[in-house]
Amino acid sequence: MVRIGYTMMTEQAGPRDLVDHVVGAERAGFDFAVISDHSFPWLEAQGHAPYAWSVLGAAAQATSRIPLMTYVTCPTFRYHPAVVAQKAATMQLLSQGRFRLGLGSGENLNEHIVGAGWPAAHVRLEMLEESVEIIRALFAGGNVSHHGRHFDVENARLWDLPDEPPPIGIAASGDRSCELAGLHGDLLVATEPKRELVTAFAAYGGAGKPCVGQLPVSYDPDRAAAVARAHDQFRWALGGWKVNAELPGPAGFAQASQHTRPEDVADAIPCGDDVDAFVDAVRPYSDAGFTEIALVQVGGDRQRPFLDWAETKLLPALREL
């Protein structure tokens, strides 16, 4: 059975609301929850970007069952990998073993703030690979020193370690990142229902491991309102990751998506309250071999109605997948 998750979208809600939303997701019966880790929203209309790790700590205390996961954290620019290792170990303890650390090579949108530049994609993947090696070494315990191509660690140690370290998920969108995920990850993270990603992940060592996808949706009994909201806040998603990873701020995303029409967004994102349309949108992930799909309800002020509808209508239908 495909596991259905809920996304705490930090770009569209403040920290207290995000915690309230994940409590509602646990109550509604979602199988897991993920959180984005941004310093900027994609578009100014979204309007938020609280610190994801503070929200996670609060969420761990406010919930009791639902697993939590970053989707995803970049451990190479804003955060040093040794700091990410400490945060993740602490989260695993706070959540009593419910945390998974999702990692990715980052987007210029968030990482530009530290003024370290934005290297080519292959360099970003080199940095990600080295950071995962550092994080795993710290999870193993003891003192760690590392002097690599991109990072230095001097006599670091995690003094509060969980009995079981958090599983590490690695975001992939092409063959090289699938290789990295298969060799170094405990699960695959992706945002497109491409079978070739799952196949490549398995070929590089990920066979039998979880594959987690993500899908934006826009629930509303008024379909026109759902389409308008999705266009206003989520039209950036149609740009594709080769573009989206490079743009430096919301103004760039607004300009890049200025010719995207509401009907274009409605073709890509299920809108309204037709359960069958939402199930049909999830099915390509299931068919491609994804074992988990995290839904993103568009609109920070439309989470509670979505959660109520999901509990009574959507989740029972999706269980049949």
Which residues are the active-site residues?
A: 38, 107
218: which strand partners? 271
Q: Which residue from 315, 286, 296, 279 is spatially nearest to 218, judged by alpha carbons? A: 296
SS (H, E, C) 183-239: HHCCEEECCCCCHHHHHHHHHHHHCCCCEEEEEEEEECCCHHHHHHHHHHHHHHHHH
Report which residue type is found at 90: T
Q: Rounded to whole angstroms, how far apart are CA atoms 319 and 4? A: 8
**6 HSE (CA, 13 A, CB side):** 29
Structure tokens at 19: 């915690």
Angle at CA 127, nearest 5°, toward 126 and 133? 95
Exposure string for 55-87, b = 16+ CB within 10 A, e = fewer: bbbbbbeebeebbbbbbbbbbbbbbbbbebbbb
User: Is the Cβ–Cβ distance between 212 and 188 less than 8 Å?
Assistant: yes
Rounded Cα distance between 247 and 199, Å, is 29
Structure tokens at 212: 């987690």
